[in-house]
Amino acid sequence: MRRPPLQTRLTTLASVLALLAGTEAFAQPAQPGSAAPAAQPPAQQAPATAPAPLPRVAVRAGIHPGYTRLVFDWPSDVGYRVERDGTQVTLRFDRAARADFAQARRINPPRVQGLAQVSDTPGLAVRFTVAADATLKDFRSGARVVVDIAGPSPAAAAPAVAEAPPAAPPSPRPAREAPTPAPGAQTASPSPAPAPSSAPAPAAGPAGQPAPLPPSALPPSALSPSARSPSARPPRTEEERRQAEGAPLWQLSQQRAAAQGGTPAATPPAGGPPAPAQPAPAQPESPQPAPAPLPAGAPPAAPPAPAEPVAAVEAAPVIVAFDPQAPTAAAVFERAGWLYILFDRPVPPGTAPAAVQGLTGAIEPVSHAEGGGFRLTHPVILTPRVEKEGTVWRVVLARPEAQPAPGDGIPADAEPDFALGPRLVLKVPDAARVIDFNDPVVGDTLKVVPLPVAGQNMPVPLRLADAQILPSAQGIVVRPVNDQLLVQPVREGVEITVPGGLRLSPPEDIAAALPPPPAEPERLYDYAAWGQVPPQNYIRRRQDLWQELVAAPPGNRGRERLKLARFYLANGWGAEALGLLDLILEEQPDLDRRAEFLAVRGAARALAGDPDGAIADLSSRSLVGEPDADLWQAAAHAEKGEWDRAATLFARQARLLRDYPEPFFSRLALLAVDAALRQGDLDTAGRLIDRLDRRGADDGPRAAAFHYFAGELAHKQGDDKKAEDAWEKAAASNDRLYRTRATKDLIDLRLATGKLPPEKAAEEMEKLRFAWRGDDLELEIQRRLGEVHALAKQYPAAFDTLKRAITLYPDSPQAAEIAKRMSDIFANLFVQDGAASMPPLEALALYEQYRELTPPGPDGDLVIRRLAERLVEIDLLDRAAELLEHQVQYRLAGTEKAQVGTRAAGIRLLDGKPDKALATLDASEMPDLPAALAEERRLLRARALADLGRGSEAVGLLAADGSRPAKLLRIDVAWRDKQWPAAAAALADLIGPPPAAGAELPAEQSRLVINRAVALALAQDDAGLRQIRDQFGPAMEKTADATAFRVLTRPDEAAGLVDAATIRSRIAEIDMFRSFLDVYRTRQQAATPPAADTPPAPAGLN
């Protein structure tokens, strides 16, 4: 093998000597043809001239299966060439620059050693060592230059430049031995000095800084994560850290300096790095003996100036905040020395901070088809944690001992029996999108699932034959191994599968790979040992056991009875087992304290329909933790309708239930499905239905129950067609329970989808009235039947059916709900105009028959008012007024009482009962009423007084009222009292000025003019008649009343008043206030009384 050039060997030797001496001197490259200068004390050395600043080129490393990758991040294109001489590889570039090996050395890549910059050419040159049979591949990726090294790692020790010095003789044993170091800790025991390496030494850093140490000199915590045990707990105390990492770096340097003759300094102060010691004088280059061990208790030598660390570790954590300024999901993971932060949508460039204190290197943007993200150089000794506040994502980088203990991460559930083939489901509810991300360093494509809630991560990797699930600090990251891998969000979380199903290890392979499990204790439930047999062998085996019982001596009959009882239980005969257990207990009363006895009796009671007794037995302290007892206890709670407890116990023993033997599996699994559906756990219900289907439940003795629950699951999932098909199968079965339930749900489904009108649905539901008796199902049928009758507007049948349900089950928790439902239907019937389609008398009869259903409070008051309006419409004025007066007297107060009383008084006036109108007004009088309401009540009171012959009181009450209704009422009072001049004057005030020439006179005003002419004629007011003839004559000639007007106002007949019949007809027609009262015959449309400040005003007042 060709030896390295002299310059390289001298540079390497000088660098090693400088490091071992602990000085701050750098190894200077020797000029060609000259020997390397001897090391001198710092005081005798000339100060070095700082070179001109050069651009920095980051050198990154990545570890991949089968090869190691080096990436040179040039900012722009640059020419290069690769030279190889045996194990030495030199990469020469056309441009000068300074190589930054920080990230590459943190990774400590295999297959590459001695990575360093050399200065034997004007441009940048990087040299490193590879194995003799390693293969190289170089290419460009944009401006980057990439070199892949494939093959084994190079030898740990490179060829030596000079012969290794002989080993030092053993040093004398100290009087007191040092304590035994912790496993894995570095010790200060004697060791030969390292031989100089032929590989080039790392290039010196900036002026005044020592060269970085090789990876072999670093503590284990600074190595790649792959070098650390994944199962080891991170050290939490300083003592644990020292034991795990060995002696600190400065102490190792001290030991090297002491071995070379340096002067040790005082022990460094606690809590910080030691002060640098003065370097020892340089010694002639010669083989050095191995350093003697430090005696126990001796202070360590002072360290030299600390070398530049590979990765600077800050005491405080580094926090990097990303704010997309919008709700986003994120994924955070580390790969090939980079920490990636990916979002599920495009994010603005300002999402990432421009700079972060404590973080070296820039934050670079990355993109993918679905959005954007960022990456930053990941310090190996720091671990990330993700937090979120609002739209801000924070990545906290800290040492492992400073981070909170990691959680279990996202649960992974392998489903080998899934209908479309085996799959893996990661149970996370918020997954919405899967991103295809091309790793710019590794070059492969990852499936990344960003998640919106911080802390949803995979802390440990999972490896499958078709995929690898990489560890993440946030989200899910999958590396496909199979090109057909599918990663997609499903209802249960994130599904990972391939067409035909994942290749999951069979149970026998898993059992072979794992250590044999510890021997399980004997189970309390062993149906096979108890004699569980196929149905065709049952009778013969039972006869054998009875014969054994009969032949047994009296002292052994208890044991034989228990054997027979277990046989009955194992084959599903709970009542028979209970009979034998009762006989056993009569002879041995203390047996009910034994777990073995309680286990059998509890299960037998559950089978025999005694859930309370089953729970009492199976909840015994002696059965706590018994899985089978939990299953039977869950069944008992389900039979009692305690679905929360049943669902909890079934979920706890889901794995046991999965493979439970028949005849119990179908029974228990169907109860578990019912409990899951009632809790809204459709995932669990779906898995159980699939399992039941695979085990043949769709064609067994419980097929009707299976089809019913399959239909209910499909209905809750929104698949009504599938639900209808399944329920039809259950409705056609011979199982009376599930036939009834399926038929009821079919009617409801078809009613909801419009396939069945309410009338037909009520008819079909009536057939179920007596289909099932005696429990909550009958109550549910009666309740639903009443509701369907109400939908069909068959209200008497609805109320009768619901009342019957309450009578049959008065103590049921549903009784109060049904009573409220009846009241709601009754109220809605009147409040929401449901009774508008009914004849008023039928509505009144319905109210009278079920008036106890009137709800209390405002809703009930509104029901009564609406009914009163319907009665007014059919002229049942007296009954309507009574309903409203009952409210005034017993139910109302304040302004509302005055409003309803006003309405009742108006109805009484319509009915011709002014005395009762006055009484109602008096009973509903309230202080501080709104002005409009007070005016309306004053008008009604005046009309009642006038109808009672107290006209003067009525006119006096209206003296200050100039409204149109008041004028009309004054006309009526004057006319009724035959005060013709006053009537004529009031009519003139109401008619107003005559119309313009040629204008038409409205019919209403024409009639008022006729009435005034009559009043003037009766008052024998010739002047008034002449005036009205002059003012209104031309306009009246165009109206239907022209002839009457001419007769009334003709001068020669004014005194004679034509004939008495005309005058009497006019007098009989006068009732000006009737238009005001007619408002009270019109049904009010407001659903509730108007506000206090705006009472309703009768039509025609303005």
Report the alpha-carbon distance of residue 642 to residue 647 in Å, rounded.
9
Residue-wise pLDDT for 279-324, tens only, equals 444 444 434 444 444 344 434 444 444 334 333 334 578 899 999 9
pLDDT by residue (tens digit) across 7-25? 444 344 444 444 444 433 3
Q: Would you give the end-to-end CA distance of the chain in angstroms?
A: 121
Where along the chain do its domains lie? Answer: 1-32+54-156+196-266+301-311, 318-504, 524-624, 757-835, 960-1071
Burial of 111 (0-12, 13-18, 19+ CB in 10 A): buried
Contacts of 175 (CB under 8 A, 6+ apart): none
Q: Which fold has domain 1-32+54-156+196-266+301-311?
A: Immunoglobulin-like (2.60.40)
Q: Give which of 370, 391, 400 is closest to 473, Cα–Cα.
A: 400
CB atoms closer than 10 angstroms to residue 237:
9
The predicted model scores a pTM of: 0.45
Q: What is the pLDDT of residues 598-649, one digit of tens each?
A: 999 999 999 999 999 999 999 998 888 899 999 999 999 999 989 999 999 9
Widest distance between CA atoms in the chain? 167
Burial 630-664 (b: 16+ CB within 10 A, else e): bbbbbbbbbbeeebebbbebbbebeeebeebebbb
| Strand ranges of the sheet holding 486-490, from the earlier edge strand across to the other edge | 412-415, 423-426, 493-497, 486-490
Closest CA to 446 of 530, 532, 333: 333
Phi, psi of 698 (to 5 degrees): -75, -10
802-808-812 Cα angle (round to 5): 90
Torsion angle, alpha carbons of 497, 501, 503, 508, to 10 = 130
CB atoms within 10 A of CB 554: 7
Give the pLDDT confidence score for residue 340 in this predicted structure. 96
| 1-32+54-156+196-266+301-311 and 524-624 share one fold | no
Distance CA 876, CA 953 (A): 30
Structure tokens at 170: 């053993």
CA-CA distance, 501 to 412, in Å (whole number)?
16
C-alpha span between 536 and 523 (Å, rounded): 27
pLDDT profile of the chain (1102 residues), mean per 10: 44 42 38 39 42 81 85 91 91 91 82 86 89 91 90 55 39 39 37 38 39 38 36 44 44 46 41 40 41 41 40 64 93 93 92 84 88 88 90 91 83 83 89 93 94 92 92 95 93 90 77 58 81 90 91 86 92 92 86 87 93 93 90 94 93 92 92 94 93 88 93 93 93 91 92 91 88 84 89 86 86 84 79 65 76 74 76 78 84 87 87 89 90 87 85 80 79 79 83 83 84 84 85 86 82 50 52 54 41 34 28
Going edge to edge, which strands form the sheet with 56-64?
98-100, 56-64, 67-73, 144-150, 135-141
The two structure tokens encoding residue 49:
């001239």
| pLDDT score recorded for residue 163 | 38
Picking from 866, 880, 951, the residue whose alpha carbon sits closest to that of residue 909 is 880
Please determine, looking at this structure, whether the domain spanning 524-624 carries the CATH number 1.25.40.
yes
Helices 703-716, 720-731: axis angle to 10 degrees equals: 160
Tokens of 1035: 């306009």
String of DSSP letters for 206-253: STT-PPPPPGGGS-GGGS-GGGS-TTSPPP-SHHHHHHHH-S-HHHHH
Helix/strand/coil percentages in the chain, nearest 5: 45, 15, 45
How many Å apart are CA 857 and CA 824, to the nearest integer? Answer: 13
Which phi and psi (to 5°) does residue 836 adopt? Answer: -65, -30
Strand partners for 396: 319, 385
What Rg do the C-alpha atoms of the chain give, in angstroms?
51
Residue 410 CA to residue 420 CA, distance in Å, equals 23
CA–CA gap between residue 926 and residue 901 (Å, rounded): 10
Q: d(Cα 328, Cα 1029) in Å, to the nearest integer? A: 88
Which is it for strands 412-415 and 383-389: parallel, antiparallel or unpaired? unpaired
How far apart, in Å, are the Cα atoms of 763 and each of 138, 727, 755, 766, 769?
Answer: 84, 19, 14, 5, 11
User: In the prediction, which pLDDT does 475 show?
Assistant: 95
Q: Are 378 and 337 in contact (CB under 8 A)?
A: yes
**Residue 1018: predicted pLDDT:** 84
List of long-range contacts for 1061-1064, beta carbons under 8 Å, 24+ apart: 1063/1014, 1063/1017, 1063/1018
